[in-house]
C-alpha cells in the first residue's frame, strides 16, 4: 500500500462538518496517514484528533491548507495526485497503476470542484461512474488500493479497542 493522504476541498463549515469529519474518519480507518483540509474548521480538527487520541494510530489532520500549494508540494515530493470524480476514468482500470506509486494524495470535493483540479491531477478517477459521495468513493478507493489489507489493521497504542462479538458492545480500555 502506498503512503496515502487525503485532501478535502470545498468544505463549507456551516453545512459540511459532518461529512468532512466522516471523510477524515474513513481515511483514518482505511489506512491513510492523514487529511489536509482546505478550509478553517477547528471543530472538525478536534473531532478527528479526539478519535485518534482514543482509538490509536498517528493520523494527522491539518486545516487551513491552500489546496493548490498542497498538490504542488505533494508532487514536488515525488507523489501522485488522484482526484475522485464521477466523471473520471474507471477505478478498476487504473487502480493497479496507482498502486505502483510510493505516495498518493487523494482529492475529494464537496459540491463543485474547481476545473483546475482536473488538470493538476495525475489521475481523475470514478468509482462506479455513478453519482454518490466523497465518503463512499474514498472508502472504496482505499479498500481497493490496499486490496483489503487495511480491514484487519491493529492500533497498538489505542486507549480503547473493540473486542468483536456477536451480541453486545465489548471494549477493552488500556
Ligand atoms: C456530492 S459529490 C459532487 C459530484 C461532482 N459533480 C463530481 O464531479 O463527482 C462530492 C464529491 O464526491 C466524490 N464523488 C461522488 N461520486 C463519485 C464517484 N462516482 N466517483 C468518485 N468520486 C465521487 C467527488 O470527490 C466529489 O467531488
In terms of residue numbers, what domain contains 71? 3-173
Among protein residues, the one whose CA lies closest to atom 6 of ligand 1: 112
Out of 131, 138, 142, mutate this one to test ligand 1's pocket (max ligand atoms within 8 Å of CB): namely 131
Q: Assess contact for 154 and 49: CB atoms under 8 A.
A: no
Any atom of ligand 1 within 6 Å of the Cβ of 20? no
CA 41 vs. chain centroid, Å, equals 17
- Where does the pLDDT of residue 97 fall: very low under 50, low under 70, confident under 90, or very high at 90 and above? very high
The reported pLDDT for the residue numbered 111 is: 87
What does the pLDDT read at residue 43? 98
CA distance linking residue 168 with residue 98, whole number of Å: 40
> pLDDT-derived band of residue 85, with 50, 70 and 90 as boundaries?
very high
The pLDDT score that the predictor gives to residue 34 is 98
Q: Count how many domains the chain has.
A: 1
CATH of the domain at 102: 3.40.1280.10
The residue-averaged pLDDT of 8-33 equals: 98
If pLDDT is split at 50, 70 and 90, which confidence band does 125 have? Answer: very high
Is 39 marked as binding a ligand? no
Q: Buried (b) or exposed (e) across 48-68, using 16+ Cβ within 10 A? A: beebbeebbbebebebebebe
What does the mean pLDDT of the chain come to?
A: 97
- The residue nearest atom 13 of ligand 1, judged by CA position, is 134
| ipTM higher than threshold 0.85 | yes
Nearest Cα residue to 22 out of 38, 6, 3:
6
Which residue, among 142, 100, 112, 146, has the nearest Cα to 125 in the 3D structure?
142
Q: What is the mean pLDDT of residues 152-161?
A: 94
pLDDT digits (tens, 9 = 90+) for 28-79: 999 999 999 999 999 999 999 999 999 999 999 999 999 999 999 999 999 9
For 154-168, what is the mean pLDDT? 95
Helix/strand number for the chain, H first, E second: 6, 8
Amino acid at each position: 500500500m502506498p503512503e496515502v493522504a487525503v485532501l478535502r476541498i470545498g468544505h463549507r463549515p456551516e453545512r459540511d462538518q459532518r461529512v468532512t469529519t466522516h471523510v477524515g474518519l474513513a481515511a483514518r480507518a482505511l489506512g491513510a496517514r492523514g487529511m489536509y483540509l482546505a478550509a478553517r474548521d477547528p471543530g472538525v480538527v478536534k473531532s478527528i484528533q479526539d478519535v485518534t487520541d482514543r482509538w490509536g494510530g498517528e493520523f494527522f489532520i491539518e486545516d487551513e491548507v491552500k489546496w493548490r500549494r498542497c498538490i504542488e508540494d505533494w508532487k514536488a515530493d515525488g507523489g501522485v495526485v488522484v482526484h475522485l470524480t464521477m466523471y473520471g476514468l474507471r477505478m478498476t482500470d487504473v487502480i493497479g497503476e496507482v498502486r505502483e506509486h510510493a505516495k498518493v494524495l487523494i482529492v475529494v470535493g464537496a459540491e463543485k470542484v474547481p476545473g483546475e483540479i482536473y488538470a493538476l491531477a495525475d489521475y481523475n478517477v470514478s468509482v462506479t461512474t455513478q453519482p454518490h459521495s466523497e465518503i463512499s468513493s474514498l472508502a472504496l478507493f482505499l479498500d481497493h488500493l490496499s486490496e483489503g489489507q487495511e480491514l484487519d489493521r491493529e492500533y497498538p497504542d489505542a486507549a480503547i479497542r473493540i473486542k468483536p462479538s456477536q451480541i453486545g458492545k465489548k471494549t477493552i480500555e488500556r
